[in-house]
């Protein structure tokens, strides 16, 4: 009898020779790793040759839900995607919402591991235990919505869920993403390019099987709590969603502006969530089994919004924005808005449509364009170097043109599609001074000078700069539900967001383990569960009596496995650093004079290494590997511990 919440089956498909086979892992894999990131990191350590080319046949593309997918727990409408990142060379491990993960799990498998490279474009059709490789030559080069609808028509079922790489992934843009349900993205790290390199256009899935769970009543109790409380405990998500951050972080000088180079975005009211609600927002959207409904849906055609004091656009009556592609969340309003100095909401909405239509991570896309803008502004790039392309701060039309060039790898887009770090190397001449990335992955839209522990988190996240497997200091400046949640394992008093002492890093240790655990489960971070809710849900699904401390250990295992993978691929503590720009103080605004000194950063980072049981060189010790009960799993696997 498999562990509850699982089938005991990992599906492997080799696209080079068309074989597929089932692996039946021992129960301890599911109990110790749960799924998602933990499972992904373990499989990569075990099966990926060291130094593999991320765009070559040896890379693995792993679609990994967790034990909770298929359980109908609110917040379980998610799945993970992972592999070796072509952008960074480190592990890539992203999550996406929607319905695909739930559907795939009900199709009878716990994960999909794609090997090899197909000689021609194909898609996988996985349904109720059956696996087919089908030609995708007619789908290659098509937009994501057209691909999804075409597959549903071809297989005559509108309830089929589709995960795919877009045109950008086909063209191997290094920050191409994997989209599912048209507009839900496993965003960071270029997994769409990995998918495109395998000539795997899509994974279509339909499942009617009932996922076995151990004790449904325990899951039901957590679900009921969520249903009774989400309107108050996740009010922000219900009322407006992530776009609230434009106004909120903007007020605190924490809305990244002009490539993190400017303290305030004075025009933030022109790209805010509130303005979106007044103008182009036509509805909200959700994921499998989620009542919160946090997503944005926008549409634009032919409206002038006369009388609105904030909306200002060069594109009134000049373009359309298609609602099929959702709407901009905060990261996109920032990366393709304030980070580029763009204050044109309709242009940002169109840019968002392009990211979903063609399949690109909006954060790396926007920040690469912002880097290009800054290089032009400082004379490091000229139209002679770029074949005539030119762009500067706030140039919305240029931004839209850049996105088109990047997705299709046309003209200067071919260079921009490599990401800002490679682009800086090509430009030379000191362009590296304008880079805002860690390990080659561009920073998300949260200002480390305001959230200091988050800055350390950017430096140490296994995938490069990342805001989700991280801690947001602003949640701990007051008493409330977040500190009460952590009090389950350690009690903390409120701390300033700009404090970076030992207590902050102890809080960081627990909360980042928690975030990694959520990405193993898999549970949406926006659901206001505490440690007990999720340990109870995991216990109910699996039949294993997880405690809050034990689930944090699951998260720590996932982090440690990611670390071992990265060390093996040549990364070290020297790569766990913050970009210089975001350590230096602004001269004006609420954060004037607030810096992160090198001493404070390294003291905090190294203290956290100790909490993780890693050496001061950032290497997990054999003792901690043993304590995490990973030694057995790693037998025969090439890793280096201290």
Partner 1 sequence: MAVTIQATGILKQHIAPGLTLDGVRTVGEAVARLDLPEMGELILLVNGRPAYWETALADGDVLHLVPGISGGNRRPATGQEPPVYR
Residues that bind partner 1 in the complex, under the rule CB under 8 A: 229, 231-233, 235-240, 242, 244-245, 247-249, 251-252, 274, 277, 281-286, 293, 297, 323, 330, 450, 472, 474-475, 477-482, 493-498, 528, 589-591, 594
Locate 323 and state its tokens: 């609602």
User: Smallest distance, Å, CB 153 to partner 1?
Assistant: 19
User: Smallest distance, Å, CB 306 to partner 1?
Assistant: 22
Q: With respect to partner 1, which residue has the nearer C-beta, 17 or 493?
A: 493
Q: With respect to partner 1, which residue has the nearer C-beta, 329 or 361?
A: 329
Burial of 147 (C-beta count, 10 Å sphere; 0-12/13-18/19+): buried
Q: What is the rounded CA–CA span in Å between residue 107 and residue 130?
A: 8
Contacts of 154 (CB under 8 A, 6+ apart): none
Nearest to 456 by CA among 583, 612, 307: 583
User: Smallest distance, Å, CB 17 to partner 1?
Assistant: 39
Q: What is the rounded CA–CA span in Å between residue 624 and residue 425?
A: 38
User: Smallest distance, Å, CB 398 to partner 1?
Assistant: 31
Q: What is the rounded CA–CA span in Å between residue 94 and residue 42?
A: 15
Q: Which residue's entry shows tokens 């890693």?
A: 614
User: Smallest distance, Å, CB 234 to partner 1?
Assistant: 8
Q: With respect to partner 1, which residue has the nearer C-beta, 475 or 637?
A: 475
Q: What is the rounded CA–CA span in Å between residue 442 and residue 277?
A: 29
Q: With respect to partner 1, which residue has the nearer C-beta, 69 or 530?
A: 530
The phi and psi torsions of 364 (rounded to 5 degrees) equal -65, -35
Q: With respect to partner 1, which residue has the nearer C-beta, 197 or 474?
A: 474
User: Smallest distance, Å, CB 493 to partner 1?
Assistant: 8
Cβ(297)–Cβ(327) below 8 Å? yes
Q: What is the rounded CA–CA span in Å between residue 187 and residue 472?
A: 20
Cβ(103)–Cβ(205) below 8 Å? yes
- Using CA atoms, how far residue 122 sits from 116, 126, 132, 570, in Å, is 13, 13, 10, 33
From the CB of residue 572, how many other CB atoms can be counted at a distance below 10 Å? 11
User: Smallest distance, Å, CB 610 to partner 1?
Assistant: 26
Q: Which residue's entry shows tokens 């498998």?
A: 109
User: Smallest distance, Å, CB 500 to partner 1?
Assistant: 13
Indicate the helix (H) or strand (E) that contains 79: strand 79-84
Q: With respect to partner 1, which residue has the nearer C-beta, 299 or 575?
A: 299
Q: With respect to partner 1, which residue has the nearer C-beta, 85 or 233?
A: 233
User: Smallest distance, Å, CB 286 to partner 1?
Assistant: 7
Q: What angle in degrees, to the nearest 10, is found between the helix axes of 502-521 and 531-542?
A: 30
Q: With respect to partner 1, which residue has the nearer C-beta, 197 or 257?
A: 257
Q: What is the rounded CA–CA span in Å between residue 156 and residue 642?
A: 55
Q: With respect to partner 1, which residue has the nearer C-beta, 534 or 561?
A: 534
Contacts of 194 (CB under 8 A, 6+ apart): 54, 55, 59, 61, 83, 84, 86, 92
Q: With respect to partner 1, which residue has the nearer C-beta, 233 or 441?
A: 233
User: Smallest distance, Å, CB 220 to partner 1?
Assistant: 22
User: Smallest distance, Å, CB 519 to partner 1?
Assistant: 17
Q: With respect to partner 1, which residue has the nearer C-beta, 117 or 286?
A: 286
């Amino acid at each position: 009898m498999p562990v509850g919440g699982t089938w005991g089956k990992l599906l492997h498909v080799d696209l080079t020779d068309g074989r597929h086979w089932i692996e039946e892992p021992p129960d301890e894999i599911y109990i110790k790793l749960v799924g998602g990131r933990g499972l992904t990191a373990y499989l990569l350590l075990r099966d990926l040759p060291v130094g593999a080319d991320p765009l070559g046949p040896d890379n693995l593309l792993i679609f990994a839900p967790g034990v909770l997918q298929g359980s109908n727990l609110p917040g379980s409408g998610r799945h993970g995607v992972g592999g070796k990142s072509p952008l960074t060379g480190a592990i890539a491990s992203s999550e996406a919402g929607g319905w695909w993960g739930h559907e795939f799990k009900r199709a009878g498998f716990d994960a999909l591991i794609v090997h090899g490279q197909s000689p021609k474009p194909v898609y996988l059709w996985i349904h109720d235990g059956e696996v087919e490789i089908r030609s995708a030559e007619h789908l290659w080069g098509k937009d994501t919505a057209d691909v999804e609808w075409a597959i549903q028509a071809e297989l005559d079922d509108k309830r089929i869920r589709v995960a795919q790489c877009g045109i950008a992934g086909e063209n191997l843009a290094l920050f191409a993403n994997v989209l599912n349900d048209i507009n839900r993205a496993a965003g960071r790290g270029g997994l769409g390019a990995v998918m495109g390199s395998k000539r795997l256009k899509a994974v279509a899935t339909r499942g009617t099987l009932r996922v076995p769970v151990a004790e449904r009543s325990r899951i039901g109790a957590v679900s009921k709590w969520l249903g009774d409380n989400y309107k108050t405990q996740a009010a922000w998500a219900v009322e407006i969603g992530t776009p609230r951050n434009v106004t909120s972080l903007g007020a605190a000088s924490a809305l990244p502006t002009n490539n993190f180079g400017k303290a305030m975005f004075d025009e933030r009211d022109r790209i805010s969530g509130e303005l979106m609600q007044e103008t182009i927002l036509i509805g909200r959207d959700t994921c499998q089994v989620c009542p919160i409904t946090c997503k944005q849906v926008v549409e634009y055609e032919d409206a002038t919004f006369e009388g609105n004091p904030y909306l200002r656009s060069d594109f009134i009556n000049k373009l359309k924005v298609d609602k099929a592609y959702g709407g901009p969340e905060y990261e996109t309003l920032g990366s393709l808005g304030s980070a580029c100095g763009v204050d044109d909401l309709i242009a940002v909405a169109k840019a968002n449509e392009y990211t979903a239509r063609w399949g690109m991570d909006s954060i790396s896309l926007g920040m690469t364009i912002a880097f290009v803008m800054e290089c032009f502004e400082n004379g490091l790039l000229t139209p002679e170097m770029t074949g005539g392309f030119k762009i500067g701060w706030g140039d919305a039309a240029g931004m839209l043109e850049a996105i088109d060039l990047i997705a299709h790898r046309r003209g200067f887009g071919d260079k921009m599609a490599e990401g800002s770090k490679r682009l800086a190397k090509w430009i030379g001449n000191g362009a590296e001074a304008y880079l805002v990335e860690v390990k080659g992955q561009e920073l998300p839209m949260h200002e480390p000078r305001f959230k200091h522990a988050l800055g350390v988190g950017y430096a140490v996240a296994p995938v490069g700069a990342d805001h989700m497997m991280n801690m947001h200091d602003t949640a701990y400046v007051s008493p409330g539900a977040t500190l009460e949640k952590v009090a389950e394992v350690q009690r903390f008093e409120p701390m300033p967001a700009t404090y970076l002492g030992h207590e902050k890093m102890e809080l960081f240790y627990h909360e980042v383990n928690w975030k990694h655990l959520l990405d193993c489960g898999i549970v949406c971070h926006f659901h206001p569960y505490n440690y007990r809710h999720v340990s109870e849900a995991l216990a109910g699904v699996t039949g294993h009596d997880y405690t809050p401390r034990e689930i944090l250990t699951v998260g720590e295992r996932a982090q440690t496995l990611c670390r071992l993978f990265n060390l093996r691929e040549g990364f070290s503590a020297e790569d766990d650093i913050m970009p210089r720009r975001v350590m230096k103080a602004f001269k004006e605004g609420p954060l004037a004079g607030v810096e992160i000194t090198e001493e404070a950063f390294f003291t905090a980072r190294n203290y956290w290494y100790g909490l993780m049981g890693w050496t001061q060189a950032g290497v997990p010790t054999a003792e901690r590997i043993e304590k995490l009960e990973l030694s057995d799993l790693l037998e025969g696997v090439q890793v280096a511990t201290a």
